[in-house]
Amino acid sequence: MTCSCSVCSLSPASADACLSSPMNFVHSECCSVWITESAFGRRFDYRPKTDPYCQARYTFCPTGSAVPVMKEEDVIEVYRLQAPVWEFKYGDLLGHLKIMHDAVGFKSALTGKNYTMEWYELFQLGNCTFPHLRPGMDAPFWCNQGAACFYEGIDDAHWKENGTLVLVTTISGAMFNEMAKWVKYDNETGIYYETWTVQASPDKKSTVWFDSYECSKFILRTYQKLADLGAVFNKVQTNYTSIILFSGEPIYLGNETSIFGPQGNKTLAAAIRDFYYPFKPHKTVREFFVDLLKIIDRVILNHEFYLFYNLEYWFLPMKFPYLKIIYEEVPLPVGSKASVGV
């Protein structure tokens, strides 16, 4: 029997009724299977061109260069790099909240050269987290691609002053070259940044409805690839930042075409646009606080959140504590027989 997931095209206030009706309950079980399959970053066949409308305040990867081919007998030191987000602008301000950015560094024994590799938003964090509502366009417009950036040099002061620069393993040049092939695959097929992790509760064993796809996840994938290639990691504690939303079972709503297209649901489309409106950039302090009250009303008082994930929209029935920033350890990996990626 084929399991098809029904689309709840109801208003947010009717979401509970949608899942509580006997007919929809069967479909909601199917949705659970769908959620499990959709909970992690989807792989794509290619990276689409970015729309000229999407503009970055700070140029993406301004000093980027091609990944070099190392001599197989080279010995490469691998460094864990971590610093507060936007440290270049705000110093350690976000470090006090443990909102950290992660990268990885390499140093060649044969050439003495060192390199930095990281993965982050093409058009800054705000654009990846919330869409633009453009005049004349029904659907929210997203500028949410992320990509890998590789460049020569490690800015010691940047990573050491308010963060971390520590040796985690040593690999051969041959292993580095294999990793570089994997990075190319990973970068071409994992293309959309996702800020939020969505969980059922703060309990560590709770259901993860959706996992984030951001800088730290790229570093974790890179470490795992190196472990699969034979790297043995030092005993170093490695903590990472997660921004978590807490929600009951998500309700699948549809994709851009099914919601905002000619045959779409105008009521649902209007509800999604209305939800995202207060998250727009603000020109005045008064405007910011007015919209902040609207966000609190929707997310906390009315338990509503609309999530865009893997090109699909989901309704999240929010629950206490609604949002939490955590900074927890994810241990360095050990190798596995099944190699990641290529």
Residues forming beta bridges with residue 309, ordered by sequence position: 312
Sequence-distant (6+) residues with CB within 8 A of 263 are none
Choose among 58, 326, 337, 333: nearest CA to 222. Answer: 333
Q: What are phi and psi of 296, to 5 degrees?
A: -60, -40
Q: Give the integer Cα–Cα distance in Å for 138 and 115.
A: 44
Choose among 226, 195, 192: nearest CA to 211. Answer: 195
Sheet with 146-152: list strands edge to edge.
146-152, 114-121, 100-108, 75-84, 164-172
- Going through the chain in order, the beta strands assigned E by DSSP cover 75-84, 100-108, 114-121, 146-152, 164-172, 196-199, 208-210, 239-247, 251-255, 304-309, 312-329
**Residue 158 annotated among the catalytic residues of the structure:** no
**Residue 101 annotated among the catalytic residues of the structure:** yes
Per-residue burial over 217-242, b = 16 or more CB atoms within 10 Å of its CB, e = otherwise = bbbbbbbbbbbbbebebeeeebebbb
Q: Which residue has the tokens 């699969």?
A: 228
Q: Euclidean distance between the first and final Cα of the chain, in Å?
A: 33
The catalytically annotated residue of 8, 18, 101, 128 is 101
The residues carrying an active-site annotation are: 101, 215
